[in-house]
Structure formats: structure tokens, C-alpha cells
Amino acid sequence: MPPLETLLAMCCFALASAATPGPVNIIGAMTGATHGAPRALRFVSGATASFIALLVIVGSGMLIGTEWVLALAWPMTLAGSAYLLWMACGLLRGGGGNPADSDPSIPGFWSGVVVQGLNPKAWLAVFSSISTFVLPLEDRTTGMAVFTILFGAICWLSLAAWAWGGARI
């Protein structure tokens, strides 16, 4: 188990990373504003699941070596930018009403998975947090597990707050 000061630093980093504006936060807020917070929580849950998967996969890779991950940086940046632009255009074209739950224009779970997986901010948070908080620990496996749980909970709560705030607009 990481020491208390490391746990506090992990939590502060996770909060600063997850709560500050970024593409996923904005889409969550816009979805909350146009479709309501409950519908936006599907997107929030997908984005959080994607972030946790990214953290575990990249973190595990960083524990054994980083060169394979670095080769993905440029293609992921291009793909993420294109997808975020496509999502932004879709949000701009939206009428601002409250369509039915089955409306494909509402960003749902899988949209959250894709957007977060392609989000450069998420990738930077993963690389910097793993190298700062997990790699220096003696028991990296436990540190990785604890950090994943903390970051996952903070990520979901932060994104849900953006969706809730958007619904209040």
C-alpha cells in the first residue's frame, strides 16, 4: 500500500486531471445541457471505463517497457482529433431538445469509450501519473491497483459533475 502522502498526492493529481476542462468534460457538459444529466451519465460511465482500461493497459506496459506505447502517440493524436471534431460538429448540429433515449445523436457509453480512448489529455494524465506515482513505489502492482481505483472513482465523479452542471444551464 502506498504511503498516505502518496495517496493524497495521487488523489490531488487525479482531481486536477479529471476536473479541469478537456474534450470529454465539455462533451459531458453539453450532453447534460441538451439531454439531461441521467442520459449524460452513460457517456460519463463509458469515458470512465475507457480511462480505467487505458490506465491499466498503458500502466502495465510501462511496468515492462514504454517503447511500444510511444509508437502510438502520433496515430492516436490524429485519430482522436478527427473523432473529437466529428463529435463537436454533431453537438453543434443538435437542436437542443430532449429526444428519446434511443436517439443516436445522444453520446452514450460507447461514444464515451471512444472519445476518452482517443483523448490526448487522458493519455498525458496516464503517462505522467504512472511515472510519477506508481513507478517509484516498491510494490508497483499494489500501487497500480490502488491508483486505478482512486483515479477511476475521481474521474467518474468529476465527469458526472460536469454533466450535472451542464444540465443546470
User: What is the value of pTM for the model shown?
Assistant: 0.76
Alpha-carbon torsion angle 31, 36, 42, 46, nearest 10: 30
Tens-binned pLDDT, residue by residue, of the chain (169 aa):
888 999 999 999 999 999 999 889 999 999 999 999 999 999 999 999 999 999 999 888 888 775 665 576 677 677 777 776 776 777 677 655 554 555 667 888 998 898 888 888 898 899 888 988 888 888 988 999 999 999 999 999 999 999 999 999 8
CB 13 within 8 A of CB 133: yes
Run of H or E including 16 = helix 4-19
Closest Cα to residue 115, out of 62, 68, 45? 45
